[in-house]
Amino acid sequence: MSTPKTLFQKIADREIPAEFVYEDEICFVIRDINPQAPTHLLVIPKRRIPRVGESTPEDAATLGHLLVTAGKIARELQLTEGFRLVINNGPHGGETVPHLHVHLLGGRPLAWPPG
């Protein structure tokens, strides 16, 4: 029996609509439907990695690609004053979808510590 598709796999397969900002062979970037900042995007690998705490050495290139892509998108959006990247892991980390993704937040000052 196969594992059911995650929300993000359904979005990647265009089964669920989303506002795509970027896409390549490894990942895609969409707007978050519940933004926490003026710019709130999700950088999502097409290949499902459940969470960063379960990543393996074989995932290193994909994980690096997600960060490079986030930086590229931040430059394109002219987030010159700064931005934040967040990866949630597990229920206490705020994870709501068991498919690793990077939140790219910017467009306003972001307080520390978060939440």
CA distance 104 to 67: 10
Could you give the strand order of the β-sheet that contains 39-45, starting from the edge strand earlier in sequence?
Answer: 20-23, 27-31, 39-45, 102-106, 83-86
- Comparing CA positions, the residue from 74, 65, 70 lying closest to residue 46 is 65
Cβ-in-10-Å burial (0-12, 13-18, 19+) of 28 comes to buried
Q: Which residues are catalytic?
A: 101
CA-based radius of gyration for the chain: 14
